[in-house]
Chains A and B, each alone.
Chain A
Amino acid sequence: MIPAPSYSDASMSLQDVTVELDGYMALSNVTFDVGAGTLMGVVGPNGAGKSTLFNTIAGLLPVRNGSVTLERVDLRRGALAYVPQRDSVNWRFPVNVMDVVLMGRCCRLGWFRRPGRKDRELVRECLCRVGLWDRRGALMTELSGGQRQRVFVARALAQEASVLLLDEAFSGVDVGAQEALVEVLQALRDEGRIVLLATHDLNNLARRFDQVLCLNRHVCACGAPNQVFTPEVMEELYGVQFSMDGEG
């Protein structure tokens, strides 16, 4: 058993982050902090800037104003893992589950080293954690939506990431598989990792997060689910009035 590293020192802070895309303001003065061991849901309508936010945190988009600070997150060692939207993956490219999780070792291996026994042992543990070791030889296209997401989470584990960004991870995933995925993410949170997940599902899932960031190009609210899911915030997010029956 490979000992799990400690992730309790990592933190993330965005201060007045403004991002411009093709001349329009995709994010405006976004400010929030996330400490180690946090499972945060990022909710908002289509075009609210959720993917832009994740791309900015991942360093794929330049910040026009403000700053993104990742404390004790060694980007060169792959400490930040990104689980992309379904559309940005080349599903025509035929790789199996083992291949994908091994990709998580790339940054540790550098250019010329090939994965060794330790890497494969770690990959085995990561797949066992997400319950997919038995499917290690299956092609990614043979898996269900929920299983694919768990493979990407296993890749993040193999990467030894302390920050996980999951963009629309519940898209095309049935309710049972969503629950299984949330359980895995909660376990990662308990190890001290920071997990951010963009989702449209407010009722069932966002309430299971520690914090929720309501985003509509700017931060409408950020905090515990029961604090941020108010009729006022929902109206600001979606432009329509919501009934908050059953709010807990």
Chain B
Amino acid sequence: MIDFLLAPLEYHFMLRALVGAVLVGVMCPLVGAYVVTRNLAFIGDALAHAVLPGMVLGFMVGISPTIAAVPTGITVAMLVRVISRRAGLSADTTIGILFAATFALGLMMLSMSSTITIDVEDLLMGQILGISPASIYVSLAITGVVILGLFVFHHWLLFTSFDPVGSQVIGRRTHVVDYVLLILLALVIVVGIQAAGVILVMAMLVIPAATAYLLVGRFASIMMTAAALGTAASVTGLYLSFHFNLPAGPAMTLVATGIFLLVAAFRRKVFN
């Protein structure tokens, strides 16, 4: 058992992957608690695809694709709200339009450049085993920003999430708080994709928070439990991938899904 735990730590790439997995396992579920309870899963998925043009642009102008994708993610997140309000469309419809348009724009830009090659499989599955020290530092910084943002705006976020109309009346700042949440979501997705790929980011945004929602009652407890479950799932998945030669991202996703299914099956027992 001790060998099982210690063997991967002899490799630098595994140490970096473990740190990356813990960071993704913490920051995604913390924001994911809002994604699940505010029905934002679709916007998360859309943002995960919409960062492609930003990444291509980063390659084109010679800057880090992660850094270039941050403004794209934030812009798309803001546009969802602005277009929904201005055009009177539902958020889902607006997200559907922007999702398709931005991903198409990214593919168009990719086809126009003969020098850039982005492996779609890498984008989907991520490269957590090949995560660079720079990506670790960026993930660490973003995790800090996300935790700080969620802590500072905690009461406003609770208010706008639970009672959007009442909060608009009391302070008329609902849109600002919503933008803060969307920006945090965009940051988590952009950084998470670079580290772990679209599939794992979406999995970590939704599955641990959904599991925690079944287990505990209060929102703050859901956030904490989701972060703990996300970390446990990503680290366990990484160990399984190392020992059984499995792809890391899918292994982490399936562990998280397994925990969810287990909890969902015994949910009645937990509450009784």
Taking CB atoms, residues of chain B closer than 8 Å to A143 are: none
Asked whether B175 is an interface residue with its Cβ less than 8 Å from the other chain, the reply is no
Q: Mark B123-163, 1 if CB is under 8 A from A, else 0.
A: 00000000000000000000000000000111110110111
For residue A155, which residue of chain B has the nearest CB?
Answer: B166
Interfacial chain A residues near B155, Cβ < 8 Å = 102-103, 105-106, 109, 114-115
The distance in angstroms between the C-alpha atoms of A146 and B235, with both chains bound, is 46
Residue on A nearest B163 in the bound complex, by CB: A89
Which B residues lie within 8 Å of A95 (CB)? 158, 162, 218-219
Chain B: which residue is nearest A142 at the CB level? B217
Interface size class of B (residues with CB under 8 A): 20 to 34
Give the distance to chain B from A225, nearest Cβ to Cβ, in Å: 28
Chain A neighbourhood of B213, CB < 8 A: 94
- In chain B, what residue has the closest Cβ to A88? B165
Query: B169 near A93 (CB under 8 angstroms)?
Result: no
A234 within 8 A of B: no
Contact residue range for chain A?
A: 35 or more
Q: Establish whether residues A90 and B37, one from each chain, have CB atoms under 8 Å apart when the complex forms.
A: yes
Closest chain B residue to A140, Cβ basis: B162
Q: A103-B155, A139-B218 are in contact. Are A93 and B161 (CB under 8 A)?
A: yes
User: Which residues of A have CB within 8 Å of B236?
Assistant: none
Q: Which of A5-13, A79-87, A192-200, A209-217 contacts B (4 or more CB under 8 A)?
A: A79-87
Indicate if the CB atoms of B166 and A93 lie closer than 8 Å.
no
Name, among B159, B164, B167, the residue most crowded by chain A CB atoms within 10 Å (CB to CB): B159
Q: Which residues on the B side are within 8 Å of A96 (C-beta)? A: 217-218
Extra contacts, 13 of them, besides A60-B168, A94-B219, A104-B170 (Cβ < 8 A), are: A59-B172, A81-B170, A83-B166, A84-B163, A88-B163, A90-B37, A90-B163, A92-B39, A94-B217, A102-B155, A103-B159, A115-B155, A139-B218
Residues of A within 8 A of B (CB): 58-60, 78, 80-84, 88-90, 92-96, 99-100, 102-107, 109, 111-112, 114-115, 139-140, 152, 155, 159
